[in-house]
Amino acid sequence: MALDKNHRVKLLRGFGVSITTKDNQIILKNGKHFYEKEHEIESYFPKKFPYDRLVISGKGMLSTEAIKTLSENNVNVILTDSFGSLVSSINFPMVSGIGSRNRMAQYDIFRDDTKTTYLQRQLLHSKFQSQINFLSSLDNDCKKIISHLKSLQKIIPNLTLRRLVSLEAQASREYFKLYASFFDEKYQFDTRNSISKTKQDASDVINALLNYGYSVLASEISKHLNGIGLDPYYSFYHHNHESFQSLTYDMIEPFRWLVEKTVYRLANAKNHALQIKKKHYIKHTKSGMVLLDTELVKKFLEMLEVDFRKTRQYERKNGMKKENGLSNCAEITIVKISIQNLSDFCVGKKQEFKI
């Protein structure tokens, strides 16, 4: 069964996945997995292609002509491994004088210690604020950690990068300890770091869902960075040699809560049709990692898309504004605006960087 195209996301999974072109149409062929009995095939003319994102978690064939056509139509192609961790993403880069200007300004700003320190502090403050806002929206008792995060925000302006990273790690441990308490014990989720030091090693269903969500979010951020001409591999917070597309993982920090919210909603759903069931995942015998079935991944991606498109009031330059000067913006649009704000700061259009 195909996903509801209103969700604008398509999962291709299993063995025999393919994206090809024929008679001027893009042909999507789903793969076979433990849970699939036959291939599902869809075909669309490029201008009527219904998806913004293709998530590929399988083995198969991608034709260069299909990838070229998808990129030209701004479709984000996201490749993950069988466990939902990001392998690669394919998106269209900005090739223009503006893109080159933005990238050169990025290199200059990120070599400026004063401005880089400012960006680091702004980023961490925004990440803590996003967690505060998320926790405040829940019915759970989160007052203690919210108060703690607010107190950490106050000391950020006085810290160097080394202390900022240490502070972030400390806050993350406390945040995920609380976050784990929101889930039924049957999911065996007690931390973001499961069976090893590698966060992608998901030995429980909650970590596996987080992997999928972070992969999709990271790919969206990478698409917008490339689209505006910034170099996703050159960052101001994460070490360039330690992280895949380090600027992508700088900019993901204030928006991780979107994935965490979706996982929370799915795992605590009252609707029986949405609930996670034991049949939806199995533990890989050799690695001890959890493998999700296609039905659960599709359901999660649909819900994530809904949370991406939920709106809230936000300050932006363009668009219709309310009496208070704010506009209703989708969360995923706010991600894009924040990346534009970073670019504007780099080229000197803005003196402040806000998320």
pTM, 2 dp: 0.89
Task: Tell me the CATH number of domain 97-347, given options 1.10.3720.10, 3.40.1280.10, 3.40.50.300, 1.20.120.920.
Answer: 1.20.120.920
Mean pLDDT of 262-275: 92
CB 8 within 8 A of CB 29: no
Mean pLDDT of 66-74: 92
- pLDDT of res. 35: 54
- pLDDT of res. 39: 78
Residue 19's DSSP bridge partners are 28, 62
Name residues whose C-beta falls within 8 Å of residue 97's C-beta, 6 or more positions apart in sequence. none
Taking alpha carbons only, the member of 27, 18, 26 closest to residue 58 is 18
> Measured between alpha carbons, how far is 242 from 229 in angstroms, rounded to an integer?
22
What is the DSSP track for 294-337? HHHHHHHHHHHHHHHH-EEEE--SSS---TTS-EEEEHHHHHHH
> Measured between alpha carbons, how far is 210 from 85 in angstroms, rounded to an integer?
9
Neighbours of 79 (CB within 10 A): 18
pLDDT averaged over every residue in the chain: 89
Distances in Å between the alpha carbon of 50 and those of 10, 60, 320, 351?
A: 9, 22, 26, 39
Name residues whose C-beta falls within 8 Å of residue 19's C-beta, 6 or more positions apart in sequence. 12, 26, 27, 28, 29, 54, 56, 61, 62, 63, 66, 67, 70, 77
Q: Tokens for 339, please give them.
A: 């990346």
End-to-end alpha carbon distance in the chain: 38
- pLDDT of res. 197: 40
Share of the chain above pLDDT 90, in %: 66
Provide the total of helices (H) and of strands (E) in the chain, helices listed first.
10, 10
Residue ranges per domain, the chain?
5-80, 97-347
pLDDT interval class at 196 (50, 70, 90): very low
**Which tops the pLDDT comparison, 231 or 322?**
231
Residue 96 three-state SS? coil
> Measured between alpha carbons, how far is 190 from 84 in angstroms, rounded to an integer?
19
- pLDDT of res. 289: 85
- pLDDT of res. 21: 96
Residue 167 three-state SS? helix
- pLDDT of res. 240: 66
Tell me the per-residue pLDDT of 134-192, one tens digit each, with 9 for 90 and over: 999 998 899 999 999 999 999 999 999 999 999 999 999 999 999 999 999 999 898 88
Matching fold, domains 5-80 and 97-347: no
HSE at residue 260, side-chain half, CA atoms within 13 A, is 24
- pLDDT of res. 202: 78
Amino acid sitting at position 170: Q
**Which tops the pLDDT comparison, 33 or 204?**
204
Tell me the per-residue pLDDT of 212-266, one tens digit each, with 9 for 90 and over: 999 999 999 999 999 999 999 999 998 765 557 899 999 999 999 999 999 999 9
Tell me the per-residue pLDDT of 8-57, one tens digit each, with 9 for 90 and over: 899 998 888 999 999 999 999 998 765 556 778 999 999 999 999 999 98
- pLDDT of res. 63: 94
pLDDT interval class at 321 (50, 70, 90): confident
- pLDDT of res. 157: 96
Q: Domain 5-80 has what CATH class?
A: alpha beta
> Measured between alpha carbons, how far is 212 from 222 in angstroms, rounded to an integer?
15
Mean pLDDT of 104-124: 96
Residue 257's DSSP bridge partners are none
Taking alpha carbons only, the member of 130, 123, 138, 85 closest to residue 342 is 123
Share of the chain above pLDDT 70, in %: 92
